Structure 1
Amino acid sequence: MRLINRRPSLGAARFLAIVPFALVLVAYLIGSGVRLAENPSDKLLPAFSSFAAAIDRMALTPDQRTGDILLWVDTAASLTRLGAALAISVAIGLVFGIVIGLLPYFRAGLGAFVAVISMVPPLALLPILFITLGLGETSKIALIVIGVAPCLIRDMALRVGDMPVQQLIKAQTLGASTWQIIIRVVLPQSLPRLIDSLRLQIGPAWLFLIAAEAIASESGLGYRIFLVRRYLAMDVILPYVAWITILAFLMDRILLIIQTRAFPWFAGARAST
């Protein structure tokens, strides 16, 4: 049997999924052990006991100065900014994506503009945003929107443009107006694809958020990472990076669950292809 046709069992698939994580963990343990044997005060690859102490200090013990538990304060600040920015980006991406993908006049007027805007490096605009919008929440949210919304618009426009023309013709034959076609034909088929696009933008959104928090913020996961880097506090930085990764993974899983439950036909069609 050709390798392309061989599929692992459920147990084998789970085992293979764990292997890369186990290898990374083993490599870290070996590297940490070697460095700590040479220099017990080494900070580059701390021992797991150092991680445990740092997690207790950041996630379980109130800060002596503020009385806050820093990890949860930082998490709440970052998720608030990220959630607001993604909500705005989704609204913009959905509306303009459908309009550009479906209506020829808007496609001619906005298609090239959005394509060019999506090529602008968002991080290059960060100083401009801080100058024009200040150092508050608005500039941080705007950076994420600028980085995410154009990509959502382009992807939605392409997906709407790829819809079978026969569906649009049949809807018009039955007397549907443009608004009715958007609401009853285009929108139901676009929403699950919008969720796919949003899942792909979670990583870049976190990147823009951390960059903004690192430069001008008083709270947030990115702020804390760049605050402690001056002390070479890898025992704090690595758990924070792991926590950000877990949050991003959970966001992806939640979106997948929403897509599967709200649009079961989409999951079924994908499984059949």
Structure 2
Amino acid sequence: MKTFKLNDGNEIPAIGYGTFLIPADGSTYKAVTKALELGIRHIDTAVAYFNEQEVGQAVKDSDVDREDIWITSKMWLQDFKYEDAKKSIDLSLEKLQTDYMDLYLIHQPYGPVDEAWRAMQEAKDDGKIKSIGVSNMTPKIWNQFVPEFDTIPSVNQVEFNPYFQQKEIREIMAKDDVKLQAWGPLGQGNNDLLTNPVISEIAEKYGKNAGQVILRFENQEGTIVFPKSTKAERIKSNMEIFDFKLTDREMDAIRALDTGKGRHDPDAEGVAEFLLSAYDVHEND
């Protein structure tokens, strides 16, 4: 599996497997088990996905050694106060049935983010987390919080695809070698993107599908991707992107597709309130 080196020295698999919206009714266990069987070594989950338990069980039951699997999870903004954050980290470890997480992120950057970050730094120092990062940080949010952190995040997980290439935040992150993790790397099934003539022409040239061309573009841009699919053939296909390389001209042609707009705007008013009302991660505690 190809990797990227993070600014803390850890090596993260370039392709992961996203579990957002996969139910915790056995579906997540089955999907993660299949992904691991097919060679995926990076699993992305979150407290607010409500499926950490099944991710952990699938990893535990796998024939793959734990140290060869990269597990990412995320703290929900409901738990950002310092003491709550410490408990959240321990609860994620318990549900994932592991002594450490490879990467733990601040899921939505609102509220007492500084307190959550302090708890995450301490957990990293204690060996409970290998790398720490943030998600959904725009330039505005980044400049609000990150300059006050004692350490720089290793990653920022944000919406990213050829139609939304996050140029401004990437410039800010590049100063400290912060890697971008792309959620929705295929545009969340955007048919217009998947049938775009520029991408279709390149796909035909290499004998690849549009998704593979998009993922290869993103990989060559230095982003970590974790497309989600529960179909084995699609999981396998999404991994088969390293047997061809896009030319500089092809990269520039895809870069030119950027609209500068995504489906989610973290800077919009009321986002934090909406998220808190939509997900109560302790409802069944």
Normalising by structure 1, what TM-score? 0.23
Larger % of helix: which?
A: 1
Normalising by structure 2, what TM-score? 0.22
The structure that has the greater radius of gyration is 1
Q: Answer 1 or 2: higher relative contact order, Cα 8 Å, separation at least 6.
A: 1
